[in-house]
Amino acid sequence: MKLLIGRDDLADAAAAAIARTAPQVSLERPDAHPLHSGFRQFVNEVAIDICEIPVVTLLQAAADRQPVGLLPITALGRFQHHTLVSCQGLSMPDIVGASVGVRSWTQTTGVWVRGVLGEQYGVSLRDADWITYEDSHRDGHPDPRWVRRAAAGSNLVGDLIDGTLDFAVIGNDLPAGTPARPVIPDAEAAARQWSRAVGFVPVNHVVGVTLAAAREHPDVVCAVFDALCQARAAAGHAGRAVDLEPAGFAALQAPFTTLAQYALAQEILPRPVAFEELVLATCEALGVSPARLGG
């Protein structure tokens, strides 16, 4: 069985659960650097059994009816408002007609940001000149025709710093030692206000499972889910005022459903994907009810 989760506490908990539940099962932990190289193996080749995966990438695989399911554990969750940045002191009204770079059109952070811009700030998709730098993790999903690809060899952060880009969506921390600053005023407060209004927090990465592994080793996969829940509790996420790492089908239904709607509107998904598709496929493969996985 192959296991790939980026966070050490979650990966170690999952590995221990596999060893405890099925010591006869040989466990392999691929050395995927960068981590997203493993994402491609999971959604294109179904070559990793349990894998951390961006939500949008999993939705694309579901849209293509790849035999993958969802273990409803958040591996990475965060507010998104601060990720829209500029090095030129630009403000929200300046985004109309301006260039906005994003690593990939299908990057989950970018999908959240574009959805929020439309809902909370009235910025439509075509208001900005969107520029991408990489393809989707999932093969066969080209950018929309109205999205431009950056020049070969260019770099998102470099283009932002030298002024080639007016704005950028930066998935990780702000580039150190640069003038890059969040564009949305009081981004943290704005994000919390948005979250309260919609009733959930945005989620970036979850844990996927191949349906083949779920059918062959249902007890092991369920034990992994339990261990990940326990690791999450040990890290204190469940006790925080705002839980950025929700777990269970019930907790993930709203963010998944909203993100699927955003992704469809942004021409990322070829068809609507209902959260229930993932729930049904996963539970049928495991032979359990949704309640077993927090549903």
Q: What is the pLDDT of residue 237?
A: 56
> How far apart, in whole angstroms, are the C-alpha atoms of residue 53 and residue 61?
11
Domains of the chain (ranges; CATH) run 3-77+202-293 (3.40.190.10), 81-197 (3.40.190.10)
Instruction: Name the band, by pLDDT with cuts 50, 70 and 90, for residue 75.
Output: very high
Q: What is the pLDDT of residue 236?
A: 67
Asked whether residue 238 carries a pLDDT value surpassing 60, the answer given is no
Give Cα 87 to chain centroid, integer Å: 26
| CA-closest candidate to residue 256, choices 241, 278, 271, 238 | 278
Instruction: Name the band, by pLDDT with cuts 50, 70 and 90, for residue 149.
Output: very high
Q: What is the pLDDT of residue 166?
A: 97
> Cα–Cα distances in Å, from 116 out to 11, 85, 199, 251, 256?
31, 14, 14, 20, 15
Asked whether residue 122 carries a pLDDT value surpassing 60, the answer given is yes
- Over residues 125-149, the mean pLDDT reads 95
Q: What is the pLDDT of residue 240?
A: 57
Sign of CA dihedral 110, 53, 281, 270: positive
- Over residues 77-92, the mean pLDDT reads 93
Asked whether residue 239 carries a pLDDT value surpassing 60, the answer given is no
Q: What is the pLDDT of residue 241?
A: 61
The rounded percent of the chain whose pLDDT value lies above 70 is 98
- Residue 94: phi, psi to the nearest 5? -75, -10
- List, for residues 181-224, the tens digit of each pLDDT value: 999 999 999 999 999 999 999 999 999 999 999 999 999 999 99
Average pLDDT, the chain: 93
- List, for residues 152-169, the tens digit of each pLDDT value: 999 999 999 999 999 999
DSSP string covering 79-91: --GGGEEESS---
Both ends of the chain: CA-CA distance in Å?
A: 26
> How far apart, in whole angstroms, are the C-alpha atoms of residue 181 and residue 143?
27
- List, for residues 254-274, the tens digit of each pLDDT value: 999 999 999 999 999 999 999
Q: What is the pLDDT of residue 234?
A: 82
- List, for residues 3-47, the tens digit of each pLDDT value: 999 999 999 999 999 999 999 999 999 887 778 888 999 999 999
> Cα–Cα distances in Å, from 62 out to 17, 107, 116, 138, 224?
27, 16, 24, 11, 22
